[in-house]
Structure 1
């Protein structure tokens, strides 16, 4: 299952992404964490005392990733003709979570016991000539060609705020958790995300964070309603970890919240047809908007009408 953590900058979505990924890994579940935020802090959140993350970022090898994923698909003539929304078809190279392939071997590094991939930072060479979503294209292609099976998890720390809607990446998940603080600003992103999620039928649940008492919880319930799934209380354990201090274990209330998140994900049924339909829809949108002109081709022809997505396509 693919899980996204979204929310306002500073809401704690990176911390929640790390806590959830670590809890899955410690349970023995196959899990891959992906840092898809412009501020690349997920490695530090997974283990504040870990050394530097040395695996190459996905965005730095986008061409090679395209070559791998297009495989022998005759509808994709070159890496230049493959854009971030190009959907898989017959002949495409599909991937398993942490599979024995070139992409995972090159880009995954364990941090805090969790396999992690990163998109790469927005650096000086990008200023004025690129947007961060060009880097996220590698994540979009990865998820589009991923045939994840039951009991496997991919956890993505997404860009902050409404920036998550700048590409079709927000439709590539089985479950989206929106992290919200109990403030007006904290729930403002929720309203934006709720409306877009409903338009596309995206499963969305709100996770309250940094709750200090009943007043905070009541505020979230009034603002979010039934979308409020669970909440985490203000955590001295998290603060101590961020400061490099060891302090027992995560508070029981917060451990319970993580359990609720996993139970919510596990209760969902994988909807391969909808995931693929969204992928095709956004690909056709991008083709009409800019990609046909950029590549000099009609990229609608890349859509394989006879392709059936899912683990069965691995054969």
Structure 2
């Protein structure tokens, strides 16, 4: 299952991405966390101690990623002709979660107990000439070519705010958790995300965070209605961990917050995988990109990269 955490900057989405990833890993489930936020703090939230994780960022290695994933797909003439939305077809190199392949070997490192990939930070050479969403191309290509199985999880900490909709990446998930504080600013991103998500049939569930009492909870219920899945209370455990003085054992997390993590997993596990829908979204956004800018940029008709006979999901592995 592919899970995204989104929300206003400062809402706690990175913290919840980390807690949920650790919760899954602690159960023994195969899980991969991906830091897709312009502020790259997920490794630290997962318990990594030190400055350098040692994971080559996806955004800095897009040509190599494209070359590997295009495989022998005859519809992709070259690496230069492959864009971030190019969908897989017959001959493409598909991936198993945390599989024994060069992409995982190059880009995955452990942060605490969780395997992690990072998109990379904005650097000085990017300022004024690049969009952060170009760095997210590696994540989009990865998810397009991933054939994950039952009981496997990819957790992505997304960019803050409704800016996540600037890329078709938002449509690559089985379930999106929108983290909202009990404030007007906290729920404003929810309204934007809800309206965009409805257009594409994207399922979102709101996770209230930093709730301090019944008034906070009532506010969230009034503002988001049935989309409110669960909530976490203000956590001294999290604050202590962020200050580097707390325990590392999730068993000591507040009981209500441990329960909320269980609710999140139950919601994910009850969500059926729709391979056809994921692939349709992939194709739709590729065609949009091809017609709006990529055909002109490459001088090619990239709509022909869509393989009409490709069958997504486990059958594609054979």
TM-score category of the 2 structures, normalised to the smaller one: over 0.9
2:297 maps to 1:301:
no
Which among 303, 310, 313 is matched to residue 310 of structure 1?
313
Q: Where does residue 225 of structure 1 map in the other structure?
A: 225
Shift of 1:51: 5.4
* Structure 1 residue 14 corresponds to structure 2 residue 14: yes
Instruction: Give ranges in structure 1 of 5+ residues lacking alignment.
Output: none
Check whether the contact 1:84–1:137 (CA below 8 A) recurs between aligned residues.
yes
The correspondence of residues 139-154 of structure 1 with structure 2, limited to 5 A, is 139-154=139-154
How does the TM-score come out when normalised to structure 1? 0.99
Retained in 1: the 8 A contact 2:48–2:111? no
1:55 positional shift: 1.2
The corresponding residue for 1:277 is 280
Cα-to-partner distance string for 1:90-114 (whole Å, 9 max, x where unaligned) = 0000001100000000000001100
| 8 Å Cα contact 1:72/1:92 also seen in 2 | yes
| C-alpha RMSD of the superposition | 0.8
Q: CA deviation at 1:50?
A: 4.8
Correspondence 1:191 to 2:194 = no
Q: Does 1:84 align with 2:87?
A: no
Alignment of 1:1-315 (within 5 A): 1-47=1-47, 49-50=49-50, 52-247=52-247, 249-315=252-318
TM-score relative to the length of structure 2 = 0.98
Q: How many residues align?
A: 315
Cα deviation for residue 246 of structure 1 reads 2.2
8 Å CA contact retained: 1:48, 1:244: no
Structure 2 counterpart SS, 1:52: coil
Question: Following the alignment from structure 1 to structure 2, what is the Cα–Cα distance between the partners of residues 217 and 206?
Answer: 12
Q: Which runs of 4+ in 1 moved over 6 A?
A: none
Partners of 1:56 and 1:34 in 2: CA distance: 12
How far the C-alpha of 1:49 sits from its partner, in A, is 3.1
Hey, what's the Cα distance between the residues in 2 that align with 1:295 and 1:49?
A: 43
Task: List alignment gaps of at least 5 residues for structure 2.
Answer: none
